[in-house]
């Protein structure tokens, strides 16, 4: 019954040399998952290099390299007149430059101007609402007399 005895078997002892030999270290393994875990995160890689449009200069530049004079309130890295869809298209084009995507981008000549179909493009007046100084009720429709019909809308039989 030697399960609860106080005697220790000498052959069960693990020496220091055995422990060093048997220990598995993650740096010694060549596993693609472990190498992916040990790689630098994207935010760590982004902080390593110096950006051309860093805030230390005090001026942010748009995608054409022009300084952003009037930044957007929610995203100061784009101009106030730039639409979010243009930003998304710019990201798509930077990932996979394709001629079809390039035709949809804003150009340096056109800039980030307001589109003609935007409601406030012609000044203060809205394009789709007619000007009305005072509220007036809609004109009343003339009442038409209805013909009397028989039961369930059928005409009376003659």
pLDDT tens track for 68-87: 888 888 877 777 777 777 77
Give the number of residues written for the chain. 158
Q: Are 93 and 102 in contact (CB under 8 A)?
A: yes
Burial class (CB in 10 A: 0-12, 13-18, 19+), 92: middle
What is the value of pTM for the model shown?
A: 0.26
d(CA 62, CA 53): 9
The residue behind tokens 């790689």 is 39
In tens, the pLDDT along 46-70 reads 777 655 545 556 778 776 677 888 8
pLDDT at 110: 47
Question: What is the rounded distance in angstroms from the CA atom of residue 61 to the CA atom of residue 69?
Answer: 9
Average pLDDT over residues 124-132: 57
- Could you give the percent of the chain with pLDDT greater than 90? 0
Task: Tell me the C-alpha distance between 11 and 2, whole Å.
Answer: 14
Max alpha carbon distance in the chain (Å)? 122
What's the whole-number mean pLDDT along residues 127-131?
A: 58
Half-sphere exposure of 106 toward its Cβ, with a 13 Å CA cutoff? Answer: 22
């Amino acid at each position: 019954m030697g399960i609860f005895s106080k005697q220790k078997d000498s052959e069960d002892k693990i020496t220091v040399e055995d422990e060093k030999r048997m220990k598995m270290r993650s740096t010694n393994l060549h596993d693609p998952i472990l190498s992916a875990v040990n790689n630098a995160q994207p935010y760590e890689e982004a902080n390593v290099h110096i950006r051309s449009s860093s805030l230390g200069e005090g001026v942010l530049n748009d995608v054409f390299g022009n300084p952003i004079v009037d930044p957007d309130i929610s995203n100061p890295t784009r101009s106030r007149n730039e639409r979010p869809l243009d930003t998304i298209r710019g990201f798509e084009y930077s990932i996979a430059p394709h001629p079809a995507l390039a035709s949809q981008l804003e150009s340096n000549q056109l800039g980030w101007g307001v589109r003609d179909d935007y409601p406030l493009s012609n000044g203060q007046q809205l394009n789709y609402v007619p000007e009305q100084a005072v509220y007036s009720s809609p004109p009343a429709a003339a009442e038409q007399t209805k013909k009397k019909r028989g039961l369930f809308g059928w005409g009376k039989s003659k």
